[in-house]
Amino acid sequence: MRRPACPDAEFARERAARRHPDHDEEAPATHGAPHVPTPGKGAVHGGRHGRRRAAMRRTAVAATPAGAAVTVGRRMSR
């Protein structure tokens, strides 16, 4: 069945009524945020590229004392 090229007014009214129903009841009260935190202790782990950033931090923390030791060793040997 083909749809008409230009639907009549009654068809358009019915379609609008199906897509946009009237809401007479009020919405429930919320915090206003799309995410309501759960009660108790919570934490967010990772985030954007969390594993990679954590690996870079671990590498930097491990390399800092090693680099300082090499620098001190070179200065002591002069």
CA distances in angstroms from 25 to 9, 22, 28, 42, listed in the order given? 28, 9, 9, 34
What does the DSSP 8-state code read for residue 31? -
pLDDT by residue, tens only, the chain of 78 residues: 566 666 677 777 777 777 766 667 777 777 677 776 677 776 666 778 888 988 999 999 999 999 999 999 988 887
What does the DSSP 8-state code read for residue 4? P
Torsion of the alpha carbons at 51, 52, 58 and 63, rounded to the nearest 10: 170
| Sign of the dihedral through C-alpha 27, 32, 38, 44 | positive
Position 35 scores a pLDDT of 72
Position 10 scores a pLDDT of 78
Q: pTM of the prediction?
A: 0.36
